[in-house]
Amino acid sequence: MKKNDDMSTSRYFRSDIPISNRHASHNVQRWEWIGNDGKGRTFSEINKPNSFYRKCIRRNTYAGNETSIRQDLRYDIKLNMIVKKPRS
């Protein structure tokens, strides 16, 4: 991982897209955690060992704290449930 890449220097926020009962509860929990009452979260908070975000990841290739969470963040952004904003 590059130290100053776009993903690691951004802040992440919960979008305004409504959550439906069709969304998996582990996804909803991590989206709401990122929201942080409108303050959002930094990549380092999300990527921290044993972060709440990490505890809500459910995929076969996830092997704990040593596993990258980038694909999970990209998934959340692609669904428009999380918004990535560059630091100002």
Q: Which residues contact 19 (CB under 8 A, 6 or more apart)?
A: 28, 31, 81
The structural domains of the chain, with segments of one domain joined by +, span 10-86
**Cβ atoms of 31 and 14 closer than 8 Å:** yes
pTM value?
Answer: 0.87
Terminal Cα distance for the chain, rounded: 21
Q: What is the pLDDT of residues 29-82, one digit of tens each?
A: 999 999 999 999 999 999 999 999 999 999 999 999 999 999 999 999 999 999
Structure token digits, residue 62: 């996830």
Alpha carbons 88 and 77: distance in angstroms, whole number: 20
What Rg value do the Cα atoms of the chain yield, rounded? 12
